[in-house]
């Protein structure tokens, strides 16, 4: 087994600690293995791998998700820099509905964040020049795209830094409306 798994306070969220092997040449680490991680992707295969580079510390990207039937599991890894990575539970009927959990991901930590279907995801950069790698179990479908506002008081996300950059698109994501019951993944 090349991974150690750690549960988070919100059911379904996991942290994966990769086991790195070092020798005089450098190191080897397995970033993904479908057999070992199948339980966390609901038996789905990785359909898409994306990369982001964010230039300035304090920038926010998010909070994004896809509606069913294109809901996705994301596995997020920081390749360079340091980020505050946040997931918000949007699952209908969940006992942690609208709660968030954040973890710091950084270069050299060998940790990935598993974000299941039914969660919004975003991050804030804590250093300049951050690079993230995302594994997705669904192809991006514009018609299934969803988002919530990173500054929605109902979410109370504890962003650790003053915001330096956020796209107009992310700034204009909607606040959660009264009566929103969550995402139905059934």
pLDDT for 145 beyond 90: yes
pTM of the entire structure? 0.92
pLDDT at res. 101: 98
pLDDT of residue 37: 77
Contact 80, 107 (CB under 8 A): yes
The stretch 158-178 carries a mean pLDDT of 96
| 144 band by pLDDT with thresholds 50, 70 and 90 | very high
Q: Which of 37-51, 58-72, 112-126, 137-151 has the lowest mean pLDDT?
A: 37-51
**What does the mean pLDDT of the chain come to?**
93
Which whole number is the average pLDDT over 159-177? 97
Domains identified in the chain and CATH numbers: 3-171 (2.60.120.10)
Element (H, E) at 35: helix 34-37
CA distance 186 to 184: 6
Catalytic residue ranges:
64, 134
Residue 39 has pLDDT above 80, yes or no: no
């Amino acid at each position: 087994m090349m991974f150690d798994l750690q549960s988070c306070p919100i059911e379904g969220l996991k942290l994966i600690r990769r086991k790195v092997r070092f020798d005089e040449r450098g190191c080897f680490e397995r970033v993904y293995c479908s057999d070992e991680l199948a339980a966390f992707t609901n038996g789905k295969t990785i359909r898409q791998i994306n990369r982001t580079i964010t230039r300035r510390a304090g920038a926010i990207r998010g909070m994004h998700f896809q509606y069913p039937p294109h809901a996705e599991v994301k596995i997020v890894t920081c390749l360079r820099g340091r980020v505050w990575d946040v997931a918000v539970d949007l699952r209908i009927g969940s006992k942690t509905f609208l709660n968030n959990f954040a973890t710091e991901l950084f270069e050299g930590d060998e940790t990935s964040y598993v974000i299941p279907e039914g969660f919004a995801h975003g991050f804030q950069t804590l250093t300049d020049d951050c690079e993230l790698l995302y594994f997705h179990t669904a192809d991006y479908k514009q018609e299934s795209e969803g988002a919530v506002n990173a500054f929605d008081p109902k979410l109370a996300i504890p962003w650790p830094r003053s915001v330096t950059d956020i796209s107009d698109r992310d700034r204009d994501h909607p606040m959660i409306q009264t009566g929103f019951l969550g995402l139905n993944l059934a």
